[in-house]
Structure 1
Amino acid sequence: MRSWFITGANRGIGLEIARSALTAGDRVVAASRKPEDAAAALGGSGDRLLAVPLDVTNADQAQEAVKAAVAAFGRIDVLVNNAGFAQIGPFEAISHEQIQRQFDTNVFGTFHVTRAALPILRAQRSGHIFTISSLVGLVGFGNSSLYCATKFALEGWSESIGQELAEFGIKVTLLEPGQFRTDFLDQTSVKFSGLGIDDYKAGSEAHKAALAGFNHHQQGDPSKIGKVILAILDAEETPVRVAVGSDALATLQARGDTFHAQADAWRALSLSTDFPSA
């Protein structure tokens, strides 16, 4: 029986991952700002579920949540960094406070939780860290530059710590979900730019309307993401990143093709900066 620690577990993807882990017979620490919602949604799991309060932007609270997890279950086998939100709007029209909040949650929040859990995983000489990135961590999108920036940051961080932690038996994987049918684009989750700049108004309003029309019609089924994690846990090889959803897979493949094409197109110029071969 594995012990999971999942952030943002009271709704959306985090909740569905928790549900899949419990269905598999494992134990789950469901950490979120509204633990009562997680407990209500995941009721019937008995002593295999522990719902704990966690605002990931609070480093001290992350430490306390991890301590509670170890006190209840003795270990952490699977850490899922899921908590986050999307700050939408053109870069110039997003306030400093909004930028700070976006990074505090998506990036530094992930760092807080992982730093709290790593001493436990190292002592065990085992564990698997999953960080929920996005297809916007693979390719940039206009009107989403800050959200993309946080996911790009998590991409480099996760890939790097995977190399640092391998000697301790700790595995690290990025999940790259595409568009999934959750409340992620609801007004309670997504945030829009707060600075009114006329030059961006038409484009911003069109993008906002497009998101509203797309909301709750996404192709991805969030109840299936937990099964992806379970399959990776049982796999012989540990992937650095896995696309989740047909749109994410297409994005990942196209990104690779673009890198190859641009490298070939600029090959001569790239090579021109080396010292001549002896």
Structure 2
Amino acid sequence: MKTQKTWFITGASRGFGHTITKAVLASGDKVVATVRNTPDEFISQFDNNPNLYAVILDVTNETQARAAVADAIGHFGKIDVLVNNAGYGLLSAVEEATTEEVKKNYEVNVFGLLNVTKAVLPYMRKQRSGHIINISSIGGLSAYFGWGLYGSTKFAVEGITEALALELAPLGIHATVVAPGFFRTNFLDESSLTRSSNVIDDYADTVGKMREIATQINRKQPGDPEKLAQAFITLANAERPPVHLPLGTDTLNRFREKTAAFEQDIEDWYEVVTGTDHDDVQAA
């Protein structure tokens, strides 16, 4: 018999968050969904399912994050799975974006994730169980021109999750970072993607082309969000979940290309790579 889990999903009003919420409820589990406003309106989209509870949360507000998690615990009694989904994209050359644009992206994608994770962990540590699932990106595994700054927030999520997995394993808590490729969601819409206000003509052949591509492929991406949501359910029910889970053949291919190039660099520069140790270390 399936044990009913309680999920806490951030950014549930659209995109991956909405699709995952729908799939989790269909599986029979409970969901605490965070939205930016009108929780009653959100719940009505799911026919007022009693297994769904919505709370208002701006993930950049640490106090609000703690209150939302406490509210969730008060309502359902526990949180078994945390999905840190809230985030948005920034399409810009590294040089183009303003400091404010970059800081805002980090506030949501990195510090917001940390706010919610730190709010949930005391409860998971007390129950000695749980699973933190952080959503990264294909851009968090390998850089693209135009996505370097956004990708850097996801590189941070990758590193944070790796450390969490090591720190939490003795406590019976799992941590997984999921890196989706290009999925057919609203990510490339204005609601989820910010483009730098500054445009430098010298990047026309790189970042400029990426801006055109982003417009052209919007709503035509290869990944199926509903299949992604089912992958999340499989992940949450796994006895031995992975630390890294790339989703989509585009992500897998991109990562394999990167690791192959990295291995070639090591081979080409092997003497330099291994030649920087102290002499006594080399002798040993």
TM-score normalised by the chain length of structure 2: 0.93
Quote the RMSD (CA, aligned, Å).
1.5
User: Within 1, Cα distance between the matches of 2:168 and 2:196?
Assistant: 37
**Does the alignment pair 1:32 with 2:35?**
yes
Q: Deviations over 1:228-250 (max 9, x none)?
A: 12212233322011111111121
**Does the alignment pair 1:65 with 2:73?**
no
Alignment of 1:1-278 (within 5 A): 1-34=4-37, 35-36=39-40, 38-45=42-49, 47-200=50-203, 203-274=206-277, 275=279, 276-278=282-284
- What residue identity is the alignment partner of 1:160? A
Give the CA deviation at 1:123. 0.3
Task: Extract unaligned runs of 5+ from structure 2.
Answer: none
Give the CA deviation at 1:201. 5.4
Give the CA deviation at 1:41. 2.9
Cα distance, 1:36–1:182 mapped onto 2, change above 3 Å: farther
Task: Extract unaligned runs of 5+ from structure 1.
Answer: none
Q: Give the length in aligned residue pairs.
A: 277
- What residue identity is the alignment partner of 1:132? I
State whether residues 15 and 38 of structure 1, in contact with CA within 8 Å, keep that contact through their aligned partners in structure 2: no
What percentage of residue pairs aligned between the two structures are identical? Answer: 40
Q: Give the SS at the match of 1:229.
A: helix
User: Which is further off, 257-266 or 217-226?
Assistant: 257-266
User: Which is further off, 57-66 or 225-234?
Assistant: 225-234
Q: Deviations over 1:179-223 (max 9, x none)?
A: 011111011210011124343456544322211110000111101
State whether residues 7 and 29 of structure 2, in contact with CA within 8 Å, keep that contact through their aligned partners in structure 1: yes
User: Within 1, Cα distance between the matches of 2:91 and 2:47?
Assistant: 34
User: Within 1, Cα distance between the matches of 2:131 and 2:200?
Assistant: 44
TM-score normalised by the chain length of structure 1: 0.95
User: Within 1, Cα distance between the matches of 2:248 and 2:41?
Assistant: 27
